């Protein structure tokens, strides 16, 4: 994908670039010399806009004590929105969300420090070491919530998925009405609240798992385009043994591996 526009948050005036004279412009621009990027990548560069605009003709207003919005100062910042009117459910979702992102960060760190040939990494993602960078990337997406507007709801189930009584949560990705590259929403069903927080006593092989691994599972759908091939950690390990290519796009493998890392590093 080539650039078609740039957002400029600081413009050099008379060779003095600063944040006191703050400019925020969106410039239609195309330059074949710029690199082509995937939708998850960013690229920073500097160029002069003097050839395109007469800066002297513009009117600038100095803003005292300017504070930059989070998405400008930190790039792909956290954009989670909690849409829940039930305080008890909101508290559970909020805690699980924070814990899940922390566990995803730990999983990413574990892979970085132990390597693709580590026994636990192979147990959940197979023997094809060339695929592991993708795994690390997905965990990083979850840990940093990169590149997406993400909504978590507790009382919204337009698809009626919760009515079956077997669904824990459901993720929906969409672009219509989305102001970002894409948006995603996870609707939590009653079964989610029956799960317990992750702890050293969590039974990884239980079908219940933990609230945090549910968050990782759903965020891997939202941010990593994973799918569901099976429904347990034991079957996730079997999948990795027989088909590593499928394992790295199976949401259960991400939640289960993160729980394993939690136990290996925190217990």
What is the spatial distance between Cα 246 and Cα 1, in angstroms, rounded to a whole number? 26
Q: Which residues contact 246 (CB under 8 A, 6 or more apart)?
A: 229, 239
Residue at token pair 């390990």: 237
Contact 192, 157 (CB under 8 A): no
Neighbours of 234 (CB within 10 A): 14
| Domain assignments of the chain as residue spans, ordered by start | 1-67, 80-266
pLDDT value of residue 247: 96
| Cα angle for residues 218, 230, 122 (degrees, 5° grid) | 85
Q: Which helix (H) or strand (E) holds 123?
A: helix 119-125
> For the sheet containing 149-153, what is the strand order?
80-83, 149-153, 183-188, 169-174
Mean pLDDT per 10-residue section of the chain, whose length is 267 residues = 40 35 40 53 51 49 45 46 92 95 97 97 96 96 80 86 88 70 84 94 88 95 88 93 96 97 97
- Token reading at 5: 């526009």
Contact 255, 209 (CB under 8 A): yes
CATH assignment of 80-266, among 3.40.390.10, 3.40.50.1460, 3.40.50.300, 3.30.70.20 = 3.40.390.10
Whole-model pTM: value is 0.69
Q: Which helix (H) or strand (E) holds 107?
A: helix 87-114
pLDDT value of residue 149: 79
- Token reading at 19: 């944040």
């Amino acid at each position: 994908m080539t650039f078609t526009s740039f957002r400029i948050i600081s413009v050099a005036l008379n060779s003095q670039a600063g944040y006191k004279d703050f400019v925020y412009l969106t410039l239609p621009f195309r330059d074949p010399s710029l690199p082509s990027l995937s939708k998850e990548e960013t690229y920073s560069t500097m160029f002069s806009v003097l050839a395109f605009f007469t800066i002297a003709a513009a009117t600038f207003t100095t803003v005292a004590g300017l504070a930059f919005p989070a998405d400008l100062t930190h790039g792909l910042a956290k954009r989670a929105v909690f849409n829940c009117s039930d305080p008890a459910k909101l508290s559970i979702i909020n805690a699980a969300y924070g814990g899940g992102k922390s566990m995803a960060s730990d999983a990413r760190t574990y892979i970085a420090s132990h390597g693709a040939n580590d026994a636990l990494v192979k147990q959940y993602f197979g023997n094809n070491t060339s695929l592991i960078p993708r795994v690390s990337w997905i965990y990083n997406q979850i840990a940093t919530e990169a590149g997406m507007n993400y909504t978590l709801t507790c009382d919204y189930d337009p698809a009626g998925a919760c009515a079956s009584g077997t669904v824990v949560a459901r993720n929906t990705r969409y672009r219509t009405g989305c102001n970002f590259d894409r948006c995603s929403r996870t609707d939590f069903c009653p079964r989610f609240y029956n799960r317990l927080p992750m702890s050293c006593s969590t039974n990884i092989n239980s079908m219940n798992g933990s609230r945090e691994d549910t968050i990782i599972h759903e965020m891997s759908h939202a941010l990593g385009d994973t799918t569901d091939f099976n429904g347990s950690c034991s079957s996730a390990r079997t999948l990795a043994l027989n088909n590593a290519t499928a394992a790295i796009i199976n949401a259960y493998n991400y939640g289960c591996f993160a729980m394993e890392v939690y136990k290996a590093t925190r217990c």
